[in-house]
């Protein structure tokens, strides 16, 4: 983390431009009877969790090009997230992945988190890889495996994650299941589903009553003929089977081409079953790019559904939606990528907050297609970056996080501390 002085010094040359832009936007919004500060406060309150596995350079099956200075331990990962949160004031929690992030000394960890102003938001299990010395293999599946011993191992691993989560105060246990098949006939599709449902039930029963299980779906990869949980309908059916603490997790990169994701989001909110998001950027599939880098309009439309639902009395507001990034950075500095991602998310949220919802609903009721569209577009086309920057400022962060990160030469310091060849766990 930077010292407060250092941060202020780095902000100073950016302040005049910021004031110029923010003042204009405040005036512009005031003409529409919108109080900019109201929007900024909502941005201040918005937090998106950082995944521990995105703090290092990722790769594809074709190769990996590390950038250096990657965190070598859970403690260093927490340090990295603390830095991000210092810069943008919007990343005050971290998602852990077991076994990559097994805490060795829980009290010390809790102390570090507290000192950094961070929390653990969720635990993520891993049954898509075999660990050294593992008794049975996940090669042909885990929670859905035909062999009860493998299912048992996978269930126990998930329960172990739940236990770590309880110790660390994580409210969420996320299950992404890589299980599936590569060839027609390989897997009995109905039985694999039923075995999965039963395995999940065993984990569900082990959860404390204040924990949520998020069930992720993905149409393909690492299995290329069928995935046991390929679509939201399957996740949803499993949630219904399990109970109220089970919720669907939407990962932006886990959809077939041309899917209208914002509609799925609205649908799940309607059903009271949207538990969380994995933000990333996708052009072809699970590309794991920077959030907002390829389809910024879609990101806005998703937040439009979220804001609309959050302001709707007919929607069950009990279940919180957990916002998390899930990305992999092959060519960018991971920390820069995460700063960009959070900025895109805040921008999309700010735009969604600017939508004139009363006017939109009126246009929708009257089927005034052009007007309804223009109301959305008006919000989308507005340059909301000054609102986001003001939120950073009010949270004690950097007016321009990436620029300040670069000016502070953070990566160079990290390389010096951790080495050029340090490797973080992750994909």
Residues 201-230 touching its own copies, rule: CB under 8 A, are: 219-222, 224-226, 230
Contact flag: residue 72 with its own copies (CB under 8 A): no
Q: Which is nearer to its own copies, 106 or 369 (CB)?
A: 369
Q: Which is nearer to its own copies, 160 or 308 (CB)?
A: 308
- Coil, strand, or helix at residue 318? coil
Contact flag: residue 295 with its own copies (CB under 8 A): yes
Contact flag: residue 267 with its own copies (CB under 8 A): yes
Which stretch of DSSP H or E encloses residue 242? helix 232-242
Selected from 107, 132, 133, 257, the binder of its own copies by CB under 8 A is 257
Please name the residue that has the structure tokens 């299950």: 175
State which of positions 374-393 bind its own copies (CB under 8 A). 374-377, 380-383, 385
Strands 226-227 and 180-181: antiparallel
Q: Which range binds its own copies by CB under 8 A, 43-51, 96-104, 277-285, 412-420?
A: 277-285
Q: Which is nearer to its own copies, 51 or 58 (CB)?
A: 58
Q: How far is the CB of 111 from its own copies (least distance, A)?
A: 34
Distances (CA, A) of 299 to 84, 168, 201, 306: 21, 31, 33, 11
Q: Which is nearer to its own copies, 210 or 370 (CB)?
A: 370
Contact flag: residue 15 with its own copies (CB under 8 A): no
Selected from 53, 204, 232, 279, the binder of its own copies by CB under 8 A is 232
Q: Taking the CA atoms of the chain, what radius of gyration do you get in angstroms?
A: 22
Q: What is the DSSP letter of 53?
A: G
Count other C-beta atoms under 10 Å from residue 129's C-beta.
13
State which of positions 102-131 bind its own copies (CB under 8 A). 128-130
Selected from 12, 188, 409, 420, the binder of its own copies by CB under 8 A is 188
Q: How far is the CB of 289 from its own copies (least distance, A)?
A: 6
Task: Answer for the pair 87, 397: CB distance below 8 angstroms, yes or no.
Answer: yes
Residues in Cβ contact with 168 at an 8 Å cutoff, skipping those fewer than 6 apart: 96, 103, 106, 109, 110, 113, 120, 123
Contact flag: residue 68 with its own copies (CB under 8 A): no
Distance of CA 331 to the CA centre of its chain: 20
Contact flag: residue 284 with its own copies (CB under 8 A): yes
Q: How far is the CB of 71 from its own copies (least distance, A)?
A: 19
Contact flag: residue 272 with its own copies (CB under 8 A): no
Selected from 184, 210, 313, 358, the binder of its own copies by CB under 8 A is 184
Residues in Cβ contact with 99 at an 8 Å cutoff, skipping those fewer than 6 apart: 126, 131
Q: Which is nearer to its own copies, 28 or 34 (CB)?
A: 28
Contact flag: residue 366 with its own copies (CB under 8 A): yes
Distance of CA 313 to the CA centre of its chain: 26
Contact flag: residue 33 with its own copies (CB under 8 A): no
What distance separates the 2 farthest-apart alpha carbons in the chain? 67
Q: Which range binds its own copies by CB under 8 A, 47-55, 86-94, 251-259, 417-425?
A: 251-259
Q: How far is the CB of 139 from its own copies (least distance, A)?
A: 4
Contact flag: residue 21 with its own copies (CB under 8 A): yes
As a whole number of angstroms, the distance between CA 251 and CA 226 comes to 18
State which of positions 302-361 bind its own copies (CB under 8 A). 304-305, 308-309, 312, 315, 330-333, 336-337, 340, 347, 360-361
Contact flag: residue 183 with its own copies (CB under 8 A): yes
Q: Which range binds its own copies by CB under 8 A, 41-49, 90-98, 161-169, 256-264?
A: 256-264
Which stretch of DSSP H or E encloses residue 393? helix 385-394
Task: Answer for the pair 348, 302: CB distance below 8 angstroms, yes or no.
Answer: yes
Range list of H helices, 32-131: 36-45, 74-88, 106-116
Angle between helices 36-45 and 334-354 (to 10 degrees): 140
Q: Which range binds its own copies by CB under 8 A, 43-51, 161-169, 267-275, 317-325?
A: 267-275
Is omega for the bond preceding 99 within 30 degrees of 0, making it cis? yes
Q: Which range binds its own copies by CB under 8 A, 80-88, 115-123, 287-295, 319-327?
A: 287-295
Contact flag: residue 24 with its own copies (CB under 8 A): yes
As a dihedral over the C-alpha atoms of residue 4, residue 279, residue 310, residue 355, rounded to 10 degrees, the angle is: 80
Selected from 59, 99, 103, 272, the binder of its own copies by CB under 8 A is 59
Residues in Cβ contact with 273 at an 8 Å cutoff, skipping those fewer than 6 apart: 236, 239, 247, 248
Contact flag: residue 182 with its own copies (CB under 8 A): yes
Contact flag: residue 178 with its own copies (CB under 8 A): yes
Which stretch of DSSP H or E encloses residue 301? helix 296-310
Task: Answer for the pair 235, 274: CB distance below 8 angstroms, yes or no.
Answer: no
């Amino acid at each position: 983390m930077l010292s407060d002085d250092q941060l202020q010094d780095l902000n100073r040359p950016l302040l005049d431009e910021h004031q110029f832009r923010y003042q204009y936007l405040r005036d512009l919004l005031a003409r529409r009877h919108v109080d900019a500060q109201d929007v900024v406060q909502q941005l201040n309150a918005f937090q998106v969790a950082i995944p521990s596995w995105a703090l290092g350079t990722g790769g594809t099956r074709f190769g990996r090009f590390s950038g250096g200075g990657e965190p070598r331990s859970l403690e260093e990962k927490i340090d990295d997230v603390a830095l991000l949160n210092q810069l943008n004031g919007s990343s005050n929690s971290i998602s852990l992945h077991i076994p990559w992030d097994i805490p060795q000394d829980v009290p010390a960890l809790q102390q570090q988190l507290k000192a950094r102003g961070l929390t653990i938001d969720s635990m993520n299990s891993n049954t898509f890889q075999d660990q050294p010395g593992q008794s049975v293999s996940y090669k042909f599946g885990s929670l859905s495996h035909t062999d009860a011993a493998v299912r048992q191992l996978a269930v126990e691993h998930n329960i172990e994650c739940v236990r770590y989560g309880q110790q660390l105060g994580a409210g969420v246990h996320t299950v992404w299941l890589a299980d599936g098949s590569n060839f027609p006939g390989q897997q009995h599709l109905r039985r694999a589903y039923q075995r999965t449902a039963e395995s999940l039930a065993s984990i569900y029963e082990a959860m404390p009553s204040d924990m949520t299980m998020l069930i992720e779906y993905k149409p393909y990869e690492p299995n290329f003929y069928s995935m046991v949980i390929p679509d939201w309908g399957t996740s949803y059916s499993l949630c219904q089977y399990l109970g109220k603490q089970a919720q669907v997790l939407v990962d932006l990169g886990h959809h077939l081409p041309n899917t209208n994701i914002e509609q799925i989001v609205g649908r799940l909110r309607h059903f009271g079953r949207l538990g969380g998001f994995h933000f990333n950027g996708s052009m072809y599939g699970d590309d794991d790019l920077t959030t907002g880098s390829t389809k910024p309009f879609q990101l806005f439309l998703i937040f439009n559904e979220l804001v609309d639902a959050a302001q709707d009395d007919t929607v069950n507001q009990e279940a919180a939606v957990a916002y998390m990034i899930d990305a992999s950075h092959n060519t960018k500095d991971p920390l820069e990528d995460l700063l960009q991602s959070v900025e895109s998310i805040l921008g999309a949220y700010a735009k969604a907050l600017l939508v004139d919802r009363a006017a939109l609903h009126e246009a929708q009721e009257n089927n005034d297609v052009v007007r309804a569209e223009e109301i959305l577009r008006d919000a989308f086309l507005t340059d909301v970056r000054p609102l986001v920057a003001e939120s950073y400022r009010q949270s004690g962060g950097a007016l321009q996080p990436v620029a300040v990160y670069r000016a502070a030469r953070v990566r160079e310091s990290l390389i010096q501390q951790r080495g050029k060849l340090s490797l973080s766990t992750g994909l």
